[in-house]
Structure 1
């Protein structure tokens, strides 16, 4: 029995000891929490006095405590406060790091109210750096979160910051709308500081719109509130705004008086130029808000729903890309097999040459048909991929979704380039590339190519040098588009493989006979170079320096193959000289005919705006003929964004009937559809309407189809997926009455 009592005693002693330790731990945590709040209060006091360095020290002490007691909510808020102070003392890089840490914590713990505040401050930093588009994006994210959490009183600060960004962009109508909303909310919640600032900003907008009377009234009202509440930075800004208004009103004496007041007050504000320091940040942070748990739960549900929808879209688009890549791989495999069989046939005995020739022609035709079919099958889903991605990017996705969508867009654009390269190689091999000689200024052409790629060179911290031989004339006759493509490929390659170096572009004469010049072009870089064993294969399709280089620098390995083919078509030769680690020089020689006639710049064409906004589109009607529902939606949305009205039918028969019964300005006709094809439908339409503009909106691009399109009655072809500017240019030509430059001839 005594033994039992002993164990009970030990147990009670341990329990009491543990309870005492836990009590001490709780008391320690409470003491640290009190200390944390003291540091925060001290930081606010120092910040209000403009003593930002002491404010930083107090915030750092508070941050250490929040980490010690594992208070993630406080930790996130403190990082935001630190970022604000760092920004005020011009430590912008550190401020961005602190904001990133705050965002990571707040997203992880679903602290949406303080996440919104962090977005707002991030937007202010963007605005101060004059990155207004980025600022407006994060301001919108902040506003959406405040609305989601029913924290309307905090929205006024965001809309005020949005207005300032729009004023900087001179978008006064948008600024006016944001300021009206700010004033309503500020009055509702007695936010005198924001109300005063919003009235002063409204005065700026009214002044810009030449409403002087209203501008003076708004500025005076904002100034009166600022004086009453002793908001010195607003008083100072009001003085400057009133000076601008009076100057606009040609009351120069009043303007001078307010400038003097502004200068005197600026001198009296210790160590701070208020107009340049974090405009719009109130420094207020949310610690409590009504129905916190319900609000957070609601936010989590909405977030999950949004994520789910986004994930579904991303998955669909990813599957589409994988499918496209699979089809592409299959097409390349079949293409290579056909080419190998054709090459083998060329080496058989003489008595079998006729049979071999027939088989080779059949193989070539089969390859062309196969590539035509595969091209269509690739481009159709790719149109959906790129179209949906652009739509999602235009519909203000969440900040963390933007990188995924941009990656998807990059993949789609890369794949489209890959397909176009394969098609061009196929055309070169089939001898279907024709020369288009015209008069042009060679020196200007080289300068334009260098200018177009100069940003890419800057990104790699590489300097471009241009050397044009003094004795070399400038104007020649030749295929300038193909020359441009060669130069762009070679210079683009040099930039890709040259980091923090130099690239030289040279042009000079080798020899001359009458007006025919043999010219040499060199693109030399001091980049990574190419190994000797790889140099012999550099002009083969799908060849790059190595697998590792391909993965690191990207590219399909088709560019140099295309370059060689184009140079041979121009009756020239290409050479390569390279040393690993020291650089590479690509040089090519081509003949060009000199012309004494000076190049005529098409000034009038350059001056033309060619913008849809210049046309009256109110009565324009367009018919979309497309059987694919996704493509219907994408094309219609693109047209709607251009303020164009359109009808949609999904087959050729309905298209014919629709054109008979309704007057349209333009028809966008798909080719492959159930029932009668787009070609047949167009032929029927041309029997009763010769004038209607009909574009083939299709994925088919091979030249052997072009003549067929022209004979059917199409005005031109718009290849899917198309570039927005190309699409608008052709529509503009059709709707403005300009002559359409057809791709068929």
Structure 2
């Protein structure tokens, strides 16, 4: 092929001027602008015109420039094989042409290929050689950008920063905005690697703005992808979600798929046309030689004909192979886009989950103030008209707390933060406890609760009784809410038992208002309650059935629904469990309530929120308990060293060192004082980590006062009793 090119273009060497003909320069400038705007098909067509004009004018230098621009364009398409093809074409012409600028660009492209194959030091050496050959301002700026990318690979951040900052203020007459955008992207990536997230985000936003203004499509994608990652690490989940949605819209655009097809088709056509033109040129040369009677000319003709035949066969085979290659390229490119879209969707989901979790956690802290103050005011014997308002406020606080807990629960399941436990329990006891706890709600609706329990079900099972209780609490509570003057029945049946493996069928049915066929499809989705009217009449969050569906998913089970309007509903599911028949039946799940004499106790309250400090201190004072207050973890450690306390109430989330870290430090010198964690628990909190740090117990805020006092009594008096008995 090198011989053919020499034959085809050798005639241009004599007529070559020192600079390209002015007829070609506009095409090259236009192609560069189109390339930067990712209008690849138009850029390819423009460069094809430039190459044709160069051949027509017998301008070898212009042809070299055209081939170099085509090579750079194919680099943008990640088709390095085609880049090599045009780089080789330019190599043949440069052998017989004195053209320093062409040699410089040639070395620049070679440096990019070395960089892409992770040969970073060789790439830097080649860029230095290119820099010595030409001082064109646009070329020098592109060299700076290429060097910056190599420095980033080598983690030479100071050198990369110097190059990128100089490009921010570049005065390039051809690619000023494009180079500035690339520089901002480079700085965003650099600061991200260094861990300076705020600077990274600032530069990413500058790049996004420049790319939007100038229509730099690829830079727009890269900026959105970078900012999604940066904002997620900063905890700014709304911003991360916005950028990931932008990325999804870009990747899923039908325009992009069609554009890709056009670009591939144009790229293949131009490359194949160049090869065909070379063959036609050779055929013309053969025709000229046939007019000569000289034997040597005849030999040359025959040799040329032989070469033409071989070339035609090669082109034919190449074209056939390209059909397969083109299909594979399309599939590979689309797969990369789909993977990007999937990653963007995952990041969006994580951003949503973390955002909701953060909001839920932050709401629980002020809610503690609402419920705590309401409890204190109700205990201070308010007047009757005030009592009515306080009870309404308490109901609203409890309702909001349940709503927040539901959201946090759904987030934990979606984020795979929950796993089913495996412990022994009595199924009939669990269901009876749930139904007993809901009797008051049933009486308010004049509804009967009935249990149809299959006595052949083993008395001792292994599974997760707590999550099963949540399932029944939601299903039975849901049925009671929508059933007035009727009945709710819980059915259990043993479907299968083989050795210790059992499969049990559960059903909760009612004769309430029922669910329409249309709404049955979406009733298990979050915040769905059948209709707005139902939501207003019956209240609730619409998350109960979503929680049930998600919890059953942890057991590899599915919920099924049969319902008819005005006739009632039946929810059913099956769960696999293990049977253990040789355990005692004395299984207790309830906390035994006891009265304690708290008078004279002295506690430390570790809490950074001023209102919560006042409320907790007031609640302790009600029981004649004195207390000291530490506003952060550091103060808590100091007070624990200087004083003796009957117990420490430790908030977990505080500025400075956290409650967990403060507990670890206290346990280094005090192993006996009970430490009770008081926390508005969030998505990433782990009860196991609290206990591992040295906490004796955990109470989640906002809490019921009776549970609060019960936990204090258990950990002070019961613990002392156990120590004395030992």
- For residues 409-466 of structure 1, what are the alpha-carbon distances to aligned partners after superposition, in whole Å with 9 as ceiling and x for unaligned? 1111011101111111111111221111222221222222222212211211112222
What does 1:343-358 align with in structure 2 at a 5 Å threshold? Answer: 349-352=334-337
Structure 2 unmatched runs, 5+: 1-234, 253-332
Change (3 A) 1:713 1:593: closer
Secondary structure in 1 matching 2:559: strand
Are 1:428 and 2:385 an aligned pair?
A: no
Match of 1:388 in 2: 373
What is the deviation of 1:598? Answer: 4.3
Q: What are the residue-to-residue correspondences of 1:583-662 with 2, within 5 Å?
A: 583-602=568-587, 611-613=594-596, 617-662=598-643
Distance 1:653 1:594, change over 3 A: closer
1:354 positional shift: 6.1
- Could you tell me whether the CA contact under 8 Å between 1:375 and 1:699 is conserved in 2? no
Aligned to 2:151: none
- Please report how far the alpha carbon of residue 365 of structure 1 lies from its aligned counterpart in structure 2 after TM superposition: 5.1
1:683 CA drift (Å) = 3.8
Distance 1:666 1:346 in 2: 57
Aligned to 1:33: none
1:573 aligned counterpart, secondary structure: coil
1:375–1:700 Cα contact (<8 Å) kept: no
- Provide the secondary structure at the position in 1 that maps to 2:571: strand
Pick aligned residue for 2:482 from 470, 494, 497 = 497
Match of 2:704 among 702, 723, 733: 723
Spell out the pairing of 1:374-385 with structure 2 (5 A cutoff).
374-385=359-370
**Equivalent runs, 1:498-577 vs 2, <5 Å:** 498-577=483-562
Distance 1:564 1:403, change over 3 A: same
Q: Does 1:665 align with 2:650?
A: no
Q: 1:651 to 1:447 in 2, by over 3 A?
A: closer
Taking the aligned partners of 1:338 and 1:733, their CA distance within structure 2 comes to 50
Give the 3 Å change call, closer, same or farther, for CA 519–331 of structure 1 in structure 2.
farther
Distance of aligned partners of 1:337 and 1:480 in 2 relative to their CA distance in 1, 3 Å threshold = farther
**Whole-angstrom distance in 1 between the partners of 2:349 and 2:676:** 29
- The answer to whether the Cα contact below 8 Å between 1:734 and 1:740 also exists between their aligned partners in 2 is no
- The 1:515/1:416 distance shift into structure 2, 3 A limit, reads same
TM-score, L = length of structure 1: 0.50
TM-score (norm 2): 0.51
How many Å separate the matches in 2 of 1:403 and 1:634? 21
Higher relative contact order (CA 8 A, sep 6+): 2
Closer/same/farther in 2, CA of residues 352 and 505 from structure 1, 3 Å limit: same
- The corresponding residue for 1:408 is 393
Q: Residues 694-715 of structure 1: CA distance to partner in whole angstroms, max 9, x if unpaired?
A: 2332213334454554554433
Deviation per residue, 1:384-410 (Å, 9 max, x gap): 011111111111111112221111111
Aligned to 2:431: 446
2: CA distance between counterparts of 1:658 and 1:353? Answer: 57
Match of 1:582 in 2: 567
Shift of 1:693: 2.5
Matched pairs, number:
408
Q: Which residue of structure 2 aligns with residue 220 of structure 1?
A: none
Query: Partners of 1:401 and 1:618 in 2: how far apart?
Result: 30
Please name the residue that 1:487 is paired with.
Answer: 472
How far apart in 2 are the matches of 1:531 and 1:676? 54
What does 1:7-86 correspond to in 2, within 5 Å?
none
Whole-angstrom distance in 1 between the partners of 2:245 and 2:540: 25
| 1:73-125 CA-partner distances (Å, limit 9, x unpaired) | xxxxxxxxxxxxxxxxxxxxxxxxxxxxxxxxxxxxxxxxxxxxxxxxxxxxx
Mapped to 1, the partners of 2:680 and 2:572 lie a distance apart of 36
CA distance in 1, matches of 2:392, 2:634: 40
Question: Counterpart of 1:698?
Answer: 679
**2:285 maps to which residue?**
none
Q: 1:519 to 1:674 in 2, by over 3 A?
A: closer
Spell out, residue by residue over 1:289-337, the C-alpha distance to the aligned partner (whole angstroms, 9 max, x if none).
xxxxxxxxxxxxxxxxxxxxxxxxxxxxxxxxxxxxxxxxx99989997
What is the aligned partner in structure 1 of residue 445 from structure 2? 460
- The 5 A counterparts of 1:236-251 are none
Distance 1:628 1:486, change over 3 A: same
**For 1:260-297, what per-residue CA distance to the aligned partner results, in whole angstroms no more than 9, with x for missing partners?**
xxxxxxxxxxxxxxxxxxxxxxxxxxxxxxxxxxxxxx
Structure 1 residues 583 and 357, CA gap change in structure 2 (3 angstroms): closer
Tell me the CA shift for residue 578 of structure 1: 0.8
Q: Distance in 2 between matches of 1:338 and 1:479?
A: 40
Change in CA separation of 1:676 and 1:529 when aligned onto 2, cut-off 3 Å: same
For 1:339 and 1:524, how far apart are their aligned partners in 2? 43
Q: Give ranges in structure 1 of 5+ residues lacking alignment.
A: 1-329
Structure 1 residue 642: deviation in Å?
Answer: 2.6
Equivalent pair of 2:460/2:585 in contact (CA under 8 Å) = no
